[in-house]
Chain A
């Protein structure tokens, strides 16, 4: 095999030693380079947060009618954004848990960051199911608690499954992420200069000493958690897929949805990781940890999952045609040719067209191109959910009830708002915590040469 093939290529800069790793990674939170740039970025993100608050305030004050939804299109932006954000979250868990089990050492440089991404994405996603309620003040009626009227949630409804899936997903991701952080928090405690910083990190580190008795349990727990998170990540988006598949609406009622949604989730997640990691490693000069090889591998995963999605589109259309069911067939043609067809075609270009360019190795190494491609895929995946939700609903069984949908200013304010919230949280994370797992990097460095 030719020696230049990426497989032999290291997943980090071999000039690094233990001290180098700590220095390279912990300087970002501890010395906070590029203060101005960071502040500027955070300010922009914060504007988004303001838009979120104003949008939500208006929504709660005036009511759900401030959104574009109507009858028949009773779901709109909220559900689109919810599915989109959850999907983005999935890449994090996939990278940190799935690839860990597969002993993909290249995950080490990015898993911490992507786990954080997961947490924040899920946080954004979790907003929407609450906000999209007609009476958000009663969201807790979806939880099983001893109600004075003796009522319980209706456990056959996929929306109740959602509640459990999303909350579980958030908590498990949090546990997994924090567990991974523990040793690094100790490192930060021991490296931090000012006393208050040492205290802060020390408190978070809970007194981690790197004792063999810690490690022996720690490693077992970490592996089992990974083993749990892997099926979890698959189940979560399958359940989100079931929100649609369980309904009998043409365009929703399709058995392909769960796997196709999981594929799409990982697809969009990896796109988002690329979108975030490319500027990050540039600004903070982390190329030594996040090498071009990482980008290359992520591009490959994106391409593969892109095909899963493409198959999903095909399978939907095919089953519709195969069923000869006039409603199913109509909803497909309506997608291709109806009033919302342009969204469908843009989606197809972004999700099926663009990834094909990644066959070309040179493009996979072309960082600016990857950045643009990842943005396009993000857009495409948002449009995919828009197409699924809106085009299926706006023309269903009864022509007399056909309608239309368009998002309002409030819809956009809230969506843009969640983008702002997501970025703001990421900025804080990069500024306060090690964005790459120092412990695991050090393990890698000492195993120099034993990689692969």
Chain B
């Protein structure tokens, strides 16, 4: 199919797009949609070279100005995140969770929200390259045709494929098919991230059922294929102060995680000490443990006994084998089979047909067994541990091909680089962590001439391309049996395969699984490797939204750093930003220091995703490359770390500088059944109340359930066309997020308390900002919205000075992307793009309010509670944010605000905020 390039109008229409076929199938529709998408991006690029033809026949269900929604799925570490994508005139602009999908339940996380930006990333690879020079698919197909003949002759000997582990049935079917045709070809798999299977089984849990949860280095609330479900279940047990009893969370971890910040009892502990701690919890032999550990162990031991059968133990996938086993044993012992169970491993890295990981591939290359190497969608040159020194090994293969969205570190080293389709451009299917199958249907034709991994495998096997659409349907036709078309339509409609259709269970090898980590040498400090909270293993490094999204607890942006506990930093005599040299196992790198509160002394945490050299304009040269220190794939911890201050200093950019509340009444805590602070008396007002008939929009944020995962921040950015400002501007304190999450710390060590306080606009009824605006550019709506009228704003910034919550953001420069950048295609047409010199801020997603209002009027009914959901509310996996009509006493928000302990920020100023909070819950164990 011809490429769609929004930058070059000349080749913008697929042939025949302007004369629609008589019967419009989805693909035809998508082609048109793609064309109009590209077209929409053209505003301001001058008239195209070709004449534009309007729709002669309006394609079904595409109404200009009206959003269309399609169910699809996003691969998250190979597992499915079920989504509903919003498309305007055929271009996907916003992603929401698919309520039908068991692993997203309508929620999303920050990376999912930001993934739509990557679709329009101008740095994406746009055409095949041969030896770094632009080439064509035809050229590649010709060349591969020849090589394939040769390979086929030897039954595929010498052909090696390297792919990321995935749950996609179609991909695995295609791969098996290829291995059948070329039996001596080898399929290797590589991921720098965690493996969730162990001996062919993967553990799952019913977090919502547990009264007591003990998380051992497990960040199950945010970084897990089932994190959204876990977070939802967990939060539901936290919120209900009156009804079901609140659960209790124990966390023993080395570095503060989102999960750890929710703990009722948290123990910062080095991985090396875990064994002793766990033994103590088992045997009660706490002698010889430090005070904090002893107290934690005995308290937990008693509590576990109390909660037999309702206690759940979760070990993080990065934990070593003995911890995993202990967790399994603990669950078994406390008879929690109902809460924690094993299922067959769903991801392909447990597939017996797989020839191993990167180390094995490197070995084969070195042995000269590989003549043709095809790398599908991963970037081993960057993510591979230097132990395998994969960059050099590549040269051992005569013919190397890389399929990827970017001509990344691997792509530039391979003979051929081929563009891979974004998941919103390609047909596919995925399994959720719980086993639910989802159909990944594209929202748009590929913007550039790209193919999906499955399409690629099929082509490699047959030497002729087949559209992904057909491949996926092949997979499922077999399973569906009769009435396939009918079922297929239903699956696409709901996005999930929910009618009992089952695929044959994929083969699983009982061996393998998480590589056991060699007992590390003692001495020196402990070095811990973690995926970056935003950038993962580096795949999101070129995503500006995620680069500028504050890391949960350091609020670091645009960089990664070596995280030290303040005490350790003090002992080493280094301050934030000082560059230190980390040397471990003969490898050394330099990295700036960031102070991480709540981290165990004696360990340093480094995050992947930095130090990219071929990520693209955004990601290149940001931070340092932590992989350079990693001993090998799947190794998360190294001992014997030496630190040497270099004397150099590097500017790190943080969005928050002060983390103590200094006795100010901002984030509140409460205990189950504990007396909440009495609600403030209404101080009344000197002014006659303004008549505000009709709706009264308001928001309630429940700190008890808010896990502080940043999903709301990213969702707001995607919904409201919020620009990124870059490191320089962020350093000046000019970041634009309409909702930010303030982080406050109290106490330290095992007594550390962390509060995440999401701060959108408070929409004060007596808004201080309005009073001081000289031109009336920010005024009140009759429904209580504090509105910002951009085109009236002259930019005195007085409103920001007078806003006690400092939620207003100012366009100090023109932060808009260049006029010809494809990222404009992502923007929400219902939200004004702000120009230089105007103030902006949270609007309570007024565009969504109006959309719902119009829909209700069209349907001739009144607005119902729940018709309107703000972007932050919809994204929130913990249901911490509720928005609605205060005038309706039965609305969810009214009920929330009637709950005991509901409070507003800085109400002494009589600002009368419409956004109020419920206190954070801490549920400590009674002292036995």
Q: Do A and B contact each other directly (Cβ–Cβ < 8 Å)?
A: yes
CA distance A104 to B664 in the complex (A): 54
B812 part of interface (Cβ distance < 8 Å): yes
- Interface residues as binary, B823-850 with A (CB distance below 8 Å gives 1, 0 otherwise): 0000000000000111100000000000
| Residue in contact with A142 in the complex, picked from B662, B775, B802, CB distance below 8 Å | B775
A249 touching B801 in the complex, CB below 8 Å, given contacts A72-B733, A133-B794, A134-B836: yes
A115 part of interface (Cβ distance < 8 Å): no
Among residues of A, the one whose C-beta sits closest to the C-beta of B663 is: A326
Among residues of B, the one whose C-beta sits closest to the C-beta of A149 is: B792
Among residues of A, the one whose C-beta sits closest to the C-beta of B806 is: A401
A63 part of interface (Cβ distance < 8 Å): yes
A134 touching B662 in the complex, CB below 8 Å, given contacts A62-B813, A70-B732: no
Is B806 a contact partner of A72 (Cβ separation < 8 A)? Answer: yes
Is A63 a contact partner of B814 (Cβ separation < 8 A)? Answer: yes
A446 part of interface (Cβ distance < 8 Å): no
Interface residues of B in 791-828 (CB under 8 A from A): 792-798, 800-802, 804-806, 808-814
A316 part of interface (Cβ distance < 8 Å): no
B669 part of interface (Cβ distance < 8 Å): no
| Residue in contact with A403 in the complex, picked from B657, B794, B813, CB distance below 8 Å | B657
CA distance A152 to B839 in the complex (A): 19
Contacts of B837 in A (CB 8 A): 63-64, 133-135
B638 part of interface (Cβ distance < 8 Å): no
Interface size class of A (residues with CB under 8 A): 35 or more
Interface stretch of the complex, out of B241-249, B578-586, B740-748: B740-748
Q: How far is the CB of A83 from chain B (nearest CB, A)?
A: 14
Is A134 a contact partner of B793 (Cβ separation < 8 A)? Answer: yes
Interface residues of A in 129-154 (CB under 8 A from B): 132-135, 138-139, 141-142, 151-154
CA distance A399 to B812 in the complex (A): 23
Is B810 a contact partner of A71 (Cβ separation < 8 A)? Answer: yes
Interface residues of A in 268-325 (CB under 8 A from B): none
Is A158 a contact partner of B734 (Cβ separation < 8 A)? Answer: no
Contacts of B805 in A (CB 8 A): 397-398, 401
Among residues of B, the one whose C-beta sits closest to the C-beta of A135 is: B837
Contacts of B742 in A (CB 8 A): 398-401
Interface residues of B in 714-746 (CB under 8 A from A): 729, 732-734, 740, 742-744
Interface residues of A in 111-168 (CB under 8 A from B): 132-135, 138-139, 141-142, 151-154, 156-160, 163
A154 touching B793 in the complex, CB below 8 Å, given contacts A397-B906, A398-B805, A403-B733: no
A363 part of interface (Cβ distance < 8 Å): no
Is B796 a contact partner of A156 (Cβ separation < 8 A)? Answer: no
Interface residues of B in 562-614 (CB under 8 A from A): none
| Residue in contact with A141 in the complex, picked from B658, B794, B906, B909, CB distance below 8 Å | B794
Contacts of A246 in B (CB 8 A): 771-772
Q: How far is the CB of B548 from chain A (nearest CB, A)?
A: 15
Is B795 a contact partner of A135 (Cβ separation < 8 A)? Answer: yes
Contacts of B664 in A (CB 8 A): 326-327, 397, 399
Q: How far is the CB of A365 from chain B (nearest CB, A)?
A: 45
Among residues of B, the one whose C-beta sits closest to the C-beta of A68 is: B732
Q: How far is the CB of A373 from chain B (nearest CB, A)?
A: 34
Among residues of A, the one whose C-beta sits closest to the C-beta of B789 is: A151
A412 part of interface (Cβ distance < 8 Å): no
CA distance A69 to B734 in the complex (A): 9
A218 part of interface (Cβ distance < 8 Å): no
Is B744 a contact partner of A400 (Cβ separation < 8 A)? Answer: yes
Among residues of B, the one whose C-beta sits closest to the C-beta of A244 is: B801
B155 part of interface (Cβ distance < 8 Å): no
- Interface residues as binary, B887-928 with A (CB distance below 8 Å gives 1, 0 otherwise): 000000000000000000010010000000000000000000
Contacts of A400 in B (CB 8 A): 656, 658-659, 740, 742-744, 757, 759
Contacts of A38 in B (CB 8 A): none
| Residue in contact with B658 in the complex, picked from A249, A393, A402, CB distance below 8 Å | A402
CA distance A395 to B740 in the complex (A): 17
CA distance A293 to B657 in the complex (A): 55
A75 part of interface (Cβ distance < 8 Å): yes
CA distance A63 to B734 in the complex (A): 14
B531 part of interface (Cβ distance < 8 Å): no
- Interface residues as binary, B764-807 with A (CB distance below 8 Å gives 1, 0 otherwise): 00001001111110000000000000001111111011101110
A65 part of interface (Cβ distance < 8 Å): yes
Is A142 a contact partner of B794 (Cβ separation < 8 A)? Answer: yes
Interface size class of B (residues with CB under 8 A): 35 or more
Is A160 a contact partner of B800 (Cβ separation < 8 A)? Answer: no
- Interface residues as binary, A422-452 with B (CB distance below 8 Å gives 1, 0 otherwise): 0000000000000000000000000000000
| Residue in contact with A65 in the complex, picked from B656, B794, B813, CB distance below 8 Å | B813
Q: How far is the CB of B570 from chain A (nearest CB, A)?
A: 21
Is B768 a contact partner of A248 (Cβ separation < 8 A)? Answer: yes
CA distance A397 to B839 in the complex (A): 20
A157 touching B838 in the complex, CB below 8 Å, given contacts A70-B734, A135-B794: no
A71 touching B808 in the complex, CB below 8 Å, given contacts A326-B664, A398-B666, A400-B740: yes
| Residue in contact with B810 in the complex, picked from A74, A158, A398, A399, CB distance below 8 Å | A74
Is B772 a contact partner of A247 (Cβ separation < 8 A)? Answer: yes
Contacts of A75 in B (CB 8 A): 797-798, 801
Q: How far is the CB of A326 from chain B (nearest CB, A)?
A: 7
A139 touching B794 in the complex, CB below 8 Å, given contacts A70-B733, A160-B774, A248-B804: yes
Contacts of B906 in A (CB 8 A): 397
A396 part of interface (Cβ distance < 8 Å): yes
B661 part of interface (Cβ distance < 8 Å): yes
B57 part of interface (Cβ distance < 8 Å): no
Contacts of A62 in B (CB 8 A): 813
Contacts of B768 in A (CB 8 A): 247-248
CA distance A404 to B654 in the complex (A): 12
B660 part of interface (Cβ distance < 8 Å): yes
Is B775 a contact partner of A154 (Cβ separation < 8 A)? Answer: yes
Contacts of B806 in A (CB 8 A): 71-72, 396-398, 401
| Residue in contact with B776 in the complex, picked from A73, A139, A154, CB distance below 8 Å | A154
Contacts of A326 in B (CB 8 A): 663-664
Is A157 a contact partner of B798 (Cβ separation < 8 A)? Answer: yes
Q: How far is the CB of B835 from chain A (nearest CB, A)?
A: 8
Interface residues of B in 184-235 (CB under 8 A from A): none
Among residues of A, the one whose C-beta sits closest to the C-beta of B729 is: A65
B660, B663, B797, B808: most-surrounded residue (chain A CB, <10 A): B797
Is A159 a contact partner of B796 (Cβ separation < 8 A)? Answer: yes
CA distance A153 to B806 in the complex (A): 24
Among residues of A, the one whose C-beta sits closest to the C-beta of B725 is: A65
B744, B792, B798, B814: most-surrounded residue (chain A CB, <10 A): B798
CA distance A337 to B659 in the complex (A): 19
Contacts of B658 in A (CB 8 A): 395, 399-400, 402
CA distance A393 to B808 in the complex (A): 14
Q: How far is the CB of A339 from chain B (nearest CB, A)?
A: 11
Q: How far is the CB of B906 from chain A (nearest CB, A)?
A: 6
Contacts of A404 in B (CB 8 A): 657, 733
Contacts of A399 in B (CB 8 A): 658-662, 664, 666, 742, 744
Is B657 a contact partner of A157 (Cβ separation < 8 A)? Answer: no
Among residues of B, the one whose C-beta sits closest to the C-beta of A400 is: B742
CA distance A284 to B340 in the complex (A): 96
A330 part of interface (Cβ distance < 8 Å): yes
Contacts of B771 in A (CB 8 A): 156-157, 246
Q: How far is the CB of B243 from chain A (nearest CB, A)?
A: 32
CA distance A377 to B662 in the complex (A): 36
13 example contacts (A-B, Cβ-Cβ < 8 A) are as follows A64-B812, A64-B837, A70-B732, A74-B810, A134-B796, A134-B837, A135-B838, A142-B774, A158-B772, A398-B666, A398-B806, A400-B743, A401-B742
Q: Which residues of A contact B (CB under 8 A)?
A: 62-65, 68-75, 132-135, 138-139, 141-142, 151-154, 156-160, 163, 246-249, 326-327, 330, 393, 395-404
Given contacts A135-B794, A160-B774, 10 further A-B contacts (CB under 8 A): A69-B797, A74-B801, A156-B771, A157-B774, A247-B768, A397-B805, A398-B805, A399-B661, A399-B666, A400-B757
Top 10 nearest A-B pairs by Cβ distance?
A: A134-B795, A134-B837, A400-B742, A65-B812, A74-B797, A401-B806, A159-B774, A70-B733, A154-B776, A65-B813
